[in-house]
Amino acid sequence: MARVNREDPYLWLEDVDGEDALAWVAERNAETEAELATAPGFDALADRLREVLDAVDRIPYTTRRGPHLYNFWQDADHVRGVWRRTTLEQYRKDAPEWDVLLDLDALAAAEDEKWVWAGAQVRRPARDRALISLSRDGGDAVVVREFDLPTRSFVADGFTVPEAKTSIDWIDDDTVFIGTDHGPGSLTDSGYPRTVRRWRRGTPLAEAVTVFEGEAADVSAWGWYDDTPGHERAFVGRSLDFYRSETHLLTADDTLVRIEVPEDADVHAHRRHLLVTPKSPWLGHPAGSLLAFGLDAFLAGDRTAEALFTPDERTALAGHSWTRHHLVLETMRDVSTRIEVLTPLPEGGWSRAPLADVPPLSAVTVTDTEPDASDEYFLDVSGFLQPSTLTRGTIGGDTEVLRQAPARFDAEGLTVEQSFATSEDGTRVPYFVIGPDRTDGAAREPGPTLLYGYGGFEVSLTPGYAALTGRGWLETGGTYVIANIRGGGEYGPAWHQAALGAHRHRAFEDFAAVARDLVARGITTPGLLGASGGSNGGLLMGAMLTRYPELFGAIVCQVPLLDMTRFHKLLAGASWIAEYGDPDDEADLPHLLDLSPYHRIEPAAAYPPVLLTTSTRDDRVHPGHARKAAARLRALGHPVLFHENTGGGHAGATDNAQAARNQALVYTFLRTRLTGK
């Protein structure tokens, strides 16, 4: 194990709103702004990036609710955004007529509150009321208010929930499932609801009846009501950790009927079907399979499964979506997605057929279906250099292109290729390279390159059009690389589990292997290679800084986890113990100390310049991680800049202007550190 420094003179920076801490933040922000925001071309770059975010010809992705398509929209005229809806007939037009339901800018001005949209649940079947969630300045905690769609107003005596990390779901017109902060003992150690209660209209929230209760050590408890006509039923459950859960059918007399699947399996009920995705071998099927059962037969003890998808070493399940009569299946082969439609047959079994052709090195995503109503689907296809195309279709019927996003950056002379690096233990690690064409055989000098990664929580990094990266990096001659390292879900559960806990170093080794491969292939040099990542990817960046500083010329570390001995004590950190380990467990503490970038910072090391960013209002990953690391690096004389938005939550921004400025800081930092320009 590497030598670690366990002294921590910077605990005071964990006081989020402490006077001394905020004064320190203001000083660091001023330094960073003075150095980066005054660089030549900064303002022009920020304007060009905001132009992308505010563009009125972006695709307005929608959610179908009965006859209407709902959308939340932000642009230069709607800084906080509007919740609106239209009809399919209007949506087909170049300039649809939108019916604005709620204007957040007007609401924020009227209430003198920095409201940020956090979603809405529309009551069915009437679709006349909604439960709207609003965040103060972008945090995960929300207030919930009942909203009347016909009058475009909040319901004075409706369901209203104070600020908390609330889960809520309609049961009927006058009843909801509610999980929220009811006072001492009602939240898990992670800060999420521990109880599920049935709350009836007109009664105090304190009198809501508890129907299910989890444990304090759980991540959360939840309740969900399936209002599919003819299949109405309630489910409750608890997330034991990020990957283990229990699901129960809640009967009319509040009896719990356990859905007897492994704790690490995902379960989905639709009409008469039960779909199960185990993350470990089960019933003779490998981890990562998609298994279908009859729900009633399963509850009666029948474990006869039909495998709708079986993975192999190169192929993994990416997702699935129901329509009224069909199942749309998304899979990945070497990180490029495929899509097909499966249909349950009356005589038993399933048929399957391709749903759409997907170009190589591209991604396809089902953006919306309405499973209880029709076989309509909305499909988005994009690639690194291919702007999104939104298609609507009906399974077995016609398809139509509804929207084609315009190109946002000049891709002339750029290509996309996929390569594989060999990690320290011999594992092949895929990565995508987007940059100047190297397939014509012409010799090219190594150039500035930005390597991005995440490597955790089963998150897969798939191809997609990144307009901000295009304008901020590719157009200036840079190369952009995405590393599909272990810890992600690109090759199913085993790919994720290979980097769990004490094996997290494998994700770090994979990323370093890609960096070395880029240099070996002549694409870049260590001095011209930058790296970036956020959240769990920020932990990855901390590891690159402290373990492999010789591989990089600059590192951007955003909303990061860096103190791996205290992450479980800060905000939602306890919910990630299953990913990293438990610092309070003597068996886990040694590897967590070894992984912890904050504790690996050394006085005599030669670190590349690093930009650390966070948000005061991030109530998921505590800003103390970035603050403390910046303070320690700075005190030891290492090249570090720090920037903290006062708002923005875990995303770091609540509006397009703020998001554009954040990205301009990042690209300016990388350009100046890697190229000196």
Active site residues: 535, 650
SS3 193: strand
Question: Dihedrals φ, ψ of 109, to 5°?
Answer: -70, -40
Nearest to 667, CA basis, from 39, 21, 209: 39
* CA quadruple 667, 668, 674, 677: dihedral, nearest 10: 140
Q: Which residues contact 297 (CB under 8 A, 6 or more apart)?
A: 304
Per-residue CA distances from 654 to 6, 119, 397, 449 (Å): 36, 14, 40, 29
Structure tokens, 677? 């320009």
| Helix (H) or strand (E) segment spanning residue 322 | strand 315-322
Which tokens hold the place of 609? Answer: 């310049």
Strand partners, 307: 291
> In which order are the strands placed within the sheet that holds 290-294?
266-270, 273-277, 290-294, 306-309
- Paired strand residues for 667: none
Neighbours of 300 (CB within 10 A): 8
Query: Cα-atom radius of gyration of the chain, to the nearest Å?
Result: 25
C-alpha–C-alpha distance, residues 668 and 386, integer Å: 25
Q: Tell which residue, 65, 138, 140, 57, has the closest CA to residue 101.
A: 65
Could you tell me which of 328, 373, 378 has the C-alpha nearest to residue 59?
378
CB 593 within 8 A of CB 564: yes
Alpha-carbon distance of 185 to 181, in angstroms, equals: 9
Bridge partners of residue 276, in order along the sequence? 267, 291
- Please, is 438 exposed, middle or buried when counting C-beta atoms within 10 Å of its C-beta (0-12, 13-18, 19+)? middle
CA pair distance 157, 519, nearest whole angstrom:
64
Helix 656-675 and helix 42-54: axis angle, to 10°? 140
Q: What would the DSSP string read from start to end of 377-427? A: EEEEEEETTEEEEEEEEETTS-EEEEEEPPP-S--TTEEEEEEEEE-TTS-
> Which residue is associated with the tokens 């709103």?
17
* Residue 660: strand pairing partners: none
Which residue has tokens 């105090």? Answer: 204
Q: How many residues does the chain have?
A: 677
**SS3 readout for 211-234:** EEECCCCCCEEEEEEECCCCCCEE
Q: What's the rounded Cα separation, in Å, for the pair 657 and 594?
A: 39
Among 483, 641, 624, 486, CA closest to 555: 641
Angle CA 96–99–105, to nearest 5: 110
Read off the tokens for 5.
Answer: 């420094």
**Residues with Cβ within 8 Å of residue 412, at least 6 apart in sequence:** none
125: preceding bond cis by omega (within 30 degrees): yes
Q: Which of 674, 660, 651 is nearest to 468 (CA)?
A: 660
Q: Which residues fall within 8 angstroms of residue 572, CB to CB, at 6 or more apart? A: 140, 190, 191, 192, 619, 620, 621
